[in-house]
């Protein structure tokens, strides 16, 4: 199988600058070489064109930089759709989590998709519920059909990209009141850190995979590095204490790999300005390896 690396250097969806350098940091951590060591053919497709913040204006405070984010998402969707059409595996490097608007729209084109969203946040706000107006807090809601039509439709007027009943959030521990209501009303499965503590990571992830893999053409894993505890991933813009451990994060990726249904992967929210010796970017590479089949022991 060929893996296509697609960089999306965007920080317009977030409040803190610097996450636009995430794709470079992950590449610098030997991403391509490590993936090739697993036997894959790897082609780096370069970066999607993204304007810098100084070129964009906030015309709508509840949808900051939407006029620049939507074209980025469309270009990303096109790149991912093209990769999958060629029979390749798209590996999308963020950038903030608004990149998933594009990556998952592209992956869902002409197919039923199950999505595992690994994140400290559910990113399930709408313009009516957002406390910040930051679009990186809205992509999953938009993909499920909630929010501004420019985000939900993106490139056509068809049904939402995702069926909320085939979406699961893993590792949530910082949810806004409005997005809690949205999640309950749509039926998205949320495995919070409390539930992970109660059930254990294996059972929690198995429950999520069982839900999202019913009657689908494949699974997309969207992995936000702030899902990990800041001790393990210091280089993120919105750290929240009490997150996944190093081993729990790997276990999520390993269990997804075992399904044999993974067809695409996001790695997002690596902020090199806040990182310590590129630790978070290096961990992102390791997690990609686990999601793509790397094991310590396979006997």
Locate the DSSP E strands across the chain.
Answer: 2-8, 41-47, 89-94, 113-118, 167-172, 189-192, 218-224, 262-268
Residue tagged active-site, from 20, 96, 123, 148? 123
In the 8-state DSSP scheme, what is residue 179? H
Residue tagged active-site, from 119, 163, 248, 266? 119
Residue tagged active-site, from 148, 224, 248, 275? 224
Residue tagged active-site, from 4, 96, 105, 136? 136
Residue tagged active-site, from 88, 105, 121, 250? 121
Residue 136 annotated to the active site? yes
For residues 289 and 34, is the Cβ–Cβ distance under 8 A? yes
Residue 30 annotated to the active site? no
List the one residue out of 84, 49, 83 whose CA is nearest residue 69: 49
The answer to whether the bond into 173 is cis (omega within 30° of 0) is: no
Residue 217 annotated to the active site? no
Tell me, letter by letter, the H, E, C secondary structure of 74-88.
Answer: HHHHHHHHHHHHCCC
Residue 105 annotated to the active site? no
For residues 223 and 287, is the Cβ–Cβ distance under 8 A? yes
Residue 275 annotated to the active site? no
CA distances from 52 to 21, 89, 95, 161, 270 (A): 12, 28, 12, 27, 17
CA distances from 156 to 68, 77, 126, 256 (A): 18, 12, 19, 30
Residue 97 annotated to the active site? yes
Residue 128 annotated to the active site? no
Beta bridge partners of 118: 170, 223
Residue tagged active-site, from 20, 88, 96, 97? 97
Residue 226 annotated to the active site? yes
Catalytically annotated residues: 97, 119, 121, 123, 136, 224, 226, 269
């Amino acid at each position: 199988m060929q893996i296509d690396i697609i960089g999306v250097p965007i920080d317009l969806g977030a409040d803190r600058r610097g996450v636009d350098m995430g794709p470079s940091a992950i590449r610098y951590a030997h991403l391509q070489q490590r993936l090739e060591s697993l036997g894959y053919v790897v082609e780096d497709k370069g970066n999607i064109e993204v304007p810098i913040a100084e070129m964009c204006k906030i015309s709508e405070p509840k949808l900051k930089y939407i006029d620049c984010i939507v074209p980025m998402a469309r270009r990303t969707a096109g790149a991912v759709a093209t990769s999958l059409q060629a029979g390749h595996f798209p590996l999308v490097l963020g950038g903030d989590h608004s990149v998933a608007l594009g990556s998952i729209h592209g992956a869902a084109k002409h197919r039923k998709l199950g999505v595992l969203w690994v994140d400290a946040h559910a990113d399930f706000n709408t313009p009516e519920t957002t406390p910040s107006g930051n679009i990186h807090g809205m992509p999953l809601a938009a993909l499920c059909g909630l929010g501004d039509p420019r985000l939900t439709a993106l490139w056509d007027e068809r049904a939402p990209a995702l069926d909320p009943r085939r979406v699961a959030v893993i590792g949530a521990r910082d949810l806004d009141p409005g997005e809690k209501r949205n999640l309950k009303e749509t039926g998205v499965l949320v495995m919070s850190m409390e539930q992970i503590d109660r059930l254990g990571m294996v059972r929690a992830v198995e429950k999520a995979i069982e839900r999202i893999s019913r009657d689908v053409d494949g699974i997309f894993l969207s992995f936000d590095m702030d899902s990990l505890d800041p001790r393990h991933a210091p280089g993120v813009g919105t750290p929240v204490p009490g997150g996944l451990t190093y081993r729990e994060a790997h276990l999520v990726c390993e269990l997804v790999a075992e399904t044999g249904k993974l067809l695409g992967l996001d790695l997002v929210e690596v902020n090199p300005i806040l990182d310590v010796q590129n630790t978070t970017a290096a961990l992102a590479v390791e997690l990609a390896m686990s999601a793509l089949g790397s094991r310590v022991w396979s006997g």
